[in-house]
């Protein structure tokens, strides 16, 4: 019979539909096509993050399925007479028959801190797409996989007023917060922005107890976030701790690399320190709540200017998202910049739109969010059950049904926070002089947007080497990079290393650039 294994965020969900497809697999000659319709009708109603895996030794079959957004990264490799998958990238790497680092994937990672359209840097290892249903027969060595892109890219629903959307958003969001059934203490990771503030406001509106926690990094960059977080907690009359982080020690980089094998870039190593300090406060574990995803599902994601062709899309994408310029990344890894451009354009051609403005929005959802943010969320799960109401599929689907024009100027988001908690909406947005409540005023919003557009117009291009202020871990990162610069593996995959791996140039890189470069170096050499 079937042996079922699963990872379920709420530890209570096992859909009958999955049981049904297992029964179909026992009698069907072509199980995937026969099972798809039953599973597809069920999947869109499942809101939890999950991974299901069933093995039947008698049928020599494995059946697997995941949630609509692929919130839980599943790494897999299919080679001749060999199929391996798992939740731990380091485990999958360790027992894979063959691993080939791809210079193109590494160059894309150096520019963006993730590989668009791919789960890893390796030619042999990828991640399951959202809404996957797969069947593997180990007698025939046949793997059949289907996935459902449309579950991420939701068709907009026109004709509804903002008032109706707002009411349903608030009702759904608060219901999700209520649905987190657990006896564990609830901890909200609170910043000075809107995302975590919405979570805190929703919990408070339903009289759900929680503690608020924030961190102050070693460079003190989060001072203003902490200031607003303190005001938020005081307003809600909630316990609030500010955890002072030290400069990252070698063990933080080593541990992050052992957990995520470079899929979290080293600039976020400080979060391990944060999570470990919270774990010390809650040694019996906790429900860790964040506002992750709010900046994607609730905001206006279309570009500031019209994009009409491939060249404009590429230029805008890099100007808004690149850590290193594509030219610098291509030169470092000895490939043509054109190869990076062709890869990106080929990938976004699979999106269900021909409009380059919407291709930009879809890339933020499918790449920046589903690659970078989901891997960060997965890091948290090594310590706690980690949840965010914004990425619960019920809320995600609802928010993405709202036409982008109705999210313009982020007015819908400001109104959403105001509906959850008028008092919290009056608090200033960290690192800015305005509050969400003030931004609901059209004249005030017009002035702020004009000022913002002026600054964007004259912003320095990202990825350009400029004089950078010193930061806490700078000396350590530079020392480690230089120490590995003579490694033969590095020289083989980074033929352009001599042009940048020197003290003067490294000292002129930003914290994010150094962290990303150090990650690539460690991925290649296997040394942290």
From first to last of the 528 residues of the chain, give the pLDDT tens digit: 889 888 886 655 566 777 777 887 777 666 687 788 778 877 877 888 999 999 999 999 999 999 999 999 999 999 888 899 999 999 999 999 899 999 999 999 999 999 999 999 999 999 999 999 999 999 999 999 999 989 999 999 999 999 999 999 999 999 999 999 889 999 999 999 999 999 999 999 999 999 999 999 999 999 999 999 999 999 999 999 999 999 999 999 999 999 999 999 999 999 999 999 999 999 999 999 999 999 999 999 999 999 999 999 999 999 999 999 999 999 999 999 999 999 999 999 999 999 999 999 999 999 999 999 999 999 999 999 999 999 999 999 999 999 999 999 999 999 999 999 999 999 999 999 999 999 999 999 999 888 877 776 666 554 444 456 788 899 999 999 999 999 999 999 999 998 889 999 999 999 999 999 999 999 999 999
Other C-beta atoms lying within 10 Å of the C-beta of residue 315 = 13
| The two three-digit tokens of residue 467, written as one number | 């004089």
Q: Report pLDDT digits (tens) over 178-228.
A: 999 889 999 999 999 999 999 999 999 999 999 999 999 999 999 999 999
Instruction: Give yes or no: residues 511 and 434 share one domain.
Output: no
Q: Does a structural domain hold residue 365?
A: no
- pLDDT value of residue 30: 62
- pLDDT value of residue 491: 94
The rounded distance, in Å, linking the Cα atoms of 305 and 240 is: 41
Instruction: Give yes or no: residues 133 and 190 share one domain.
Output: no
Number of structural domains, the chain?
3
User: Residue 234: which domain range?
Assistant: 162-299+380-457
Burial 479-514 (b: 16+ CB within 10 A, else e): ebbeebbebeebeebbeebeebbeeeebeebbbbbb
The rounded distance, in Å, linking the Cα atoms of 434 and 58 is: 64
Instruction: Give yes or no: residues 172 and 264 share one domain.
Output: yes
Instruction: Give yes or no: residues 271 and 420 share one domain.
Output: yes
Q: Which helix (H) or strand (E) holds 503?
A: helix 503-507
Instruction: Give yes or no: residues 21 and 169 share one domain.
Output: no
The rounded distance, in Å, linking the Cα atoms of 218 and 270 is: 9
Global pTM reads: 0.94
Residue 332's alpha-carbon distances to 121, 138, 275, 490, 509, in angstroms, are: 16, 41, 34, 11, 15
Q: In 349-441, which ranges are continuous DSSP H helix?
A: 356-363, 374-380, 393-401, 411-420, 422-425
Residue 212's alpha-carbon distances to 191, 204, 302, 305, in angstroms, are: 10, 12, 33, 38
- pLDDT value of residue 46: 84
Instruction: Give yes or no: residues 406 and 493 share one domain.
Output: no
- pLDDT value of residue 465: 45
- pLDDT value of residue 460: 55
Instruction: Give yes or no: residues 45 and 169 share one domain.
Output: no
Beta bridge partners of 79: 82
- pLDDT value of residue 453: 74
- pLDDT value of residue 10: 62
Q: Does a structural domain hold residue 316?
A: no
The rounded distance, in Å, linking the Cα atoms of 31 and 399 is: 34
Q: Does a structural domain hold residue 333?
A: no
- pLDDT value of residue 39: 82
Instruction: Give yes or no: residues 85 and 188 share one domain.
Output: no
Instruction: Give yes or no: residues 403 and 504 share one domain.
Output: no
Q: Does a structural domain hold residue 500?
A: yes
The rounded distance, in Å, linking the Cα atoms of 262 and 256 is: 8
Q: In 135-209, which ranges are continuous DSSP H helix?
A: 162-178, 195-205
Beta bridge partners of 5: 53
Q: Does a structural domain hold residue 307?
A: no
- What CATH number is given to the structural domain containing 420? 3.40.50.620
Q: Does a structural domain hold residue 332?
A: no
Instruction: Give yes or no: residues 400 and 513 share one domain.
Output: no
Instruction: Give yes or no: residues 272 and 410 share one domain.
Output: yes
Q: Does a structural domain hold residue 314?
A: no
Q: Does a structural domain hold residue 319?
A: no
């Amino acid at each position: 019979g079937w042996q079922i294994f699963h990872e379920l965020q709420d530890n209570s969900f096992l859909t009958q539909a999955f049981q049904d497809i297992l029964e179909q697999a026992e009698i069907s000659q072509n199980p995937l096509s026969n099972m798809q319709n039953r599973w597809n009708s069920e999947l869109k109603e499942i809101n939890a993050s999950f991974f299901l895996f069933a093995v039947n030794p008698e049928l020599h079959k494995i059946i697997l399925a995941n949630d609509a957004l692929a919130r839980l990264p599943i790494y897999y490799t299919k080679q001749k007479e060999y199929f391996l998958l798992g939740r731990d990238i380091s485990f999958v790497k360790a027992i894979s028959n063959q691993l080939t680092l791809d210079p193109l994937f590494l160059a894309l990672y150096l520019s963006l801190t993730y590989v668009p359209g791919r789960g890893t840097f390796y030619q042999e290892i990828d991640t399951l797409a959202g809404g996957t249903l797969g069947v593997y027969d180990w007698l025939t060595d046949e793997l059949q996989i289907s996935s459902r892109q449309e579950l991420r890219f939701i068709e907009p629903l026109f004709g509804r007023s903002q008032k109706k959307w707002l009411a349903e958003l608030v009702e759904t969001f608060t219901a999700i917060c209520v649905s987190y059934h657990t006896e564990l203490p609830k901890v909200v990771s609170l910043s000075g922005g809107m995302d975590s503030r919405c979570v805190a406001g929703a919990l408070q509106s339903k009289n759900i107890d929680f503690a608020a926690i924030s961190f102050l990094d070693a460079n003190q960059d989060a001072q203003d976030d902490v200031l607003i977080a303190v005001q938020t907690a005081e307003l809600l009359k909630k316990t609030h701790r500010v955890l002072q982080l030290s400069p990252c020690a070698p063990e933080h980089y080593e541990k992050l690399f052992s957990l995520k094998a470079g899929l979290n870039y080293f600039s976020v190593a400080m979060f391990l320190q944060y999570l470990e300090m919270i774990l010390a406060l809650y040694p019996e574990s906790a429900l860790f709540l964040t506002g992750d995803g709010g900046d994607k599902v609730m905001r206006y994601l279309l570009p500031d200017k019209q994009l009409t062709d491939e060249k404009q899309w590429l230029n805008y994408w890099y100007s808004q998202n690149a850590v290193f310029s594509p030219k610098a990344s291509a030169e470092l890894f000895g490939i043509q910049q054109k190869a990076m451009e062709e890869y990106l354009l080929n990938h976004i051609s699979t999106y269900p739109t021909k409009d380059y403005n919407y291709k930009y929005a879809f890339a933020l959802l499918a790449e920046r969010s589903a690659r970078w943010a989901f891997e960060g969320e997965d890091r948290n799960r090594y310590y706690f059950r980690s949840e965010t109401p914004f990425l619960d599929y019920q809320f995600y689907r609802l928010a993405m049904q709202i036409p982008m024009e109705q999210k313009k100027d982020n007015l819908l988001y400001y109104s959403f926070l105001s509906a959850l908690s008028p008092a919290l909406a009056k608090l200033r947005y960290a690192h800015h002089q305005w509050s969400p409540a003030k931004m609901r005023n059209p004249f005030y919003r017009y002035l702020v947007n004009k000022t913002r557009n002026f600054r964007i117009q004259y912003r320095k291009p990202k990825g350009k080497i400029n004089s950078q202020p010193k930061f806490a871990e700078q000396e350590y990162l530079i020392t480690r990079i230089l120490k590995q610069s003579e490694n033969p593996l590095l020289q083989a995959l980074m033929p352009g290393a001599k042009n940048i791996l020197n003290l003067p140039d490294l000292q002129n890189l930003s914290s994010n650039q150094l962290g990303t470069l150090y990650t690539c170096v460690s991925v290649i050499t296997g040394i942290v």
